[in-house]
Amino acid sequence: MPDSAPAPTVPRRLDHAPRVVVTRHLMPTVESRLGELFDAQCNSADKAMSREELIAAMRDCDVLVPTVTDRIDADMLAQAGDRLGLIANFGAGTDHIDLKAAAARRIMVTNTPGVFTEDTADLTMAGIIGVPRRVREGVELIRSGQWTGWTPTALLGRKLAGKVLGIVGMGRIGQAVAHRARAFGLEIAYHNRKRLPEAVERMFGARYVGTLDGLVSEADILTLHCPASDSTRGMIDARRIGLMREGASLINTARGDLVDQEALIAALESGHLAGAGLDVYPDEPNVDARLIRHPNVMTLPHIGSATREGREESGHRVIANIRMWADGHRPPDQVLTGLA
């Protein structure tokens, strides 16, 4: 192994209750258990910590428990105290953490994979169904008091059965979406870094498309389920949006950075795309007013994982990872990316 490559972090048993800083307000049962087991500092006000506050926390704790709203880069990690040994992320995604920089400092990173799979897939289906059927427009019509009654030609949407659902990223969530969508008669096509085994494809009735351009050009509904990385940021750009079918829909419950927002808005306003279902945005919590105004854009406040059950389970997975690490064992959810 080259000298510049960090060796895998070896946990060491702590001789004291670890000092744990939690960056956001978690479920009460989770925070109560954290307080019982560790020297825990929770964020009951649930105000996002500033960059300076995060650095100060990392200088004075053994374990940091961040969420997707906390950007932790190499410069911040360089200022962490020597005692910081674990970043126990609340959630599966880790693209907000510089994993290579953490590994270089011998700071272990864990996450909570698989916990929010079903929840996120459920919310994705709300967009897959709601956008083609113009649900937002119907709700607004009722609320505005402008509905005059049923007519044969009002609010005509698109039938789901027989349409092509293009899934970008066929991991846990993508597969959970495919499982649900098949029940609605959608034809499942997908693009992934690696093709799934034939047996898995048969299980979902899924067809592999070798290029992203190919998938984009044939999908009636395109749904995104991949992390934000150097290779995926802006992947749905103006050129690819131009390849999409006239009247197609875009669903994004993954990461806002995957989509060129200006190109998306232009396609919506021109009518090239019929609508979009969005739960994530490139500059959260700021949402472009043009998306909010568009009659057939479902704008949701990043609630893909927002179920009581999921948030409870994720919190207890965080606790399990901390306990294993503090006892000198490798946590079950150690993130290995960045170690090689």
Examine the residue annotation and report whether 25 is marked as an active-site residue of this protein.
Answer: no
> 198 has which bridge partners?
none
Q: How far apart are CA 66 and CA 24, in angstroms?
A: 7
Active site residue 137: no
- Residue from 19, 191, 255, 317 carrying the catalytic annotation: 255
Task: Measure the CA angle with vertex 23, ends 173 and 255; round to 5°.
Answer: 30
88: nearest Cα among 103, 108, 74, 72: 108
Return the number of other C-beta atoms located less than 10 Å from residue 53's C-beta.
Answer: 15
The CA R_g of the chain, rounded to the nearest whole Å, is: 22
Establish whether 255 is a catalytic residue: yes
Residue 211's CB: how many other CB atoms inside 10 A?
Answer: 9
For residue 247, what is the DSSP state? T
Residue 205 in tokens: 């009735």
Please report which helix (H) or strand (E) contains residue 187, including its range: strand 187-191
CA 198 to CA 208: how far, in whole Å?
10
The residue from 262, 269, 284, 309 that is catalytic is: 284
The DSSP call for residue 331 is -
Among 172, 179, 195, 302, the active-site one is: 302
Q: Which residues are annotated as catalytic?
A: 255, 284, 302
